[in-house]
Amino acid sequence: MNFIEVLSPETIETNVSLANKAEIIEYLVKLASKTGKVTDSNTVINDVMEREKILSTGIGKGIALPHAKTKGISDFVASLITLKNPIDFDSLDSEPVSICVMLLGLEGQVGTNLKLLSKLSKIVNIDEQREEIMKAKTPLEVYQLFKQYEE
């Protein structure tokens, strides 16, 4: 499974204004819900927040990859936002984040979860690609960039 298979233009928004980590996570879950794959938003939010308590998913370089294996979904789904103003996310490098990508995976599908997270991490770890994502004006532009990066 490729990352682009779990992301869609309807689950992407650019230039979003939010205030903190909790708002980011709630917003990303709301976006993922547009697909119909989120069956219980509260469970998903709780599972992602519990995952954050273990170790922040702010991986550095302005990127946060909140994720969880959860019973609150019917299938793998991802959502993405770029932030108008960087926000503190308790990142490993102590820098605020500007790109947040949430991956929600099915419990019991550890291999697929890890493969998708790995593919996502490789995409956002390349400086030029992060810059292109931040410059994108529309959800479709962001989606097409990810499609291009995976080819």
The band of 110, judged by pLDDT with boundaries at 50, 70 and 90, is: confident
Q: Residue 29: its pLDDT value, please?
A: 98
Helix (H, G, I), strand (E, B) or coil at 83: strand
> Nearest CA to 38 among 72, 81, 76, 84?
72
- pLDDT at 16 (0 to 100): 97
Number of domain units in the chain: 1
User: Could you read off the pLDDT of 60-76 as tens digits, one per residue?
Assistant: 999 999 999 999 999 99
- 108 has a pLDDT exceeding 90: no
Write down the pTM of the prediction: 0.95
Residue recorded with tokens 């419990």: 107
Provide the CA 110 distance to its chain's centre, in angstroms.
Answer: 17
Say which residues have a Cβ less than 8 Å from residue 42's Cβ, sequence separation at least 6.
72
Are residues 29 and 66 in contact, defined by beta-carbon separation less than 8 angstroms?
no
At 136, which CATH number?
3.40.930.10
pLDDT of residue 151: 83
151 lies in some domain: no
Q: Is residue 54 part of a domain?
A: yes
Residue 120 burial class via C-beta count within 10 angstroms: exposed 0-12, middle 13-18, buried 19 and up: buried
Q: Give CA–CA dist 28/32, Å, rounded.
A: 6
Structure tokens at 70: 């959860």
> Residue 19 sits in which domain range?
3-146
What is the tens place of the pLDDT at every residue in 120-134?
A: 999 999 999 999 999
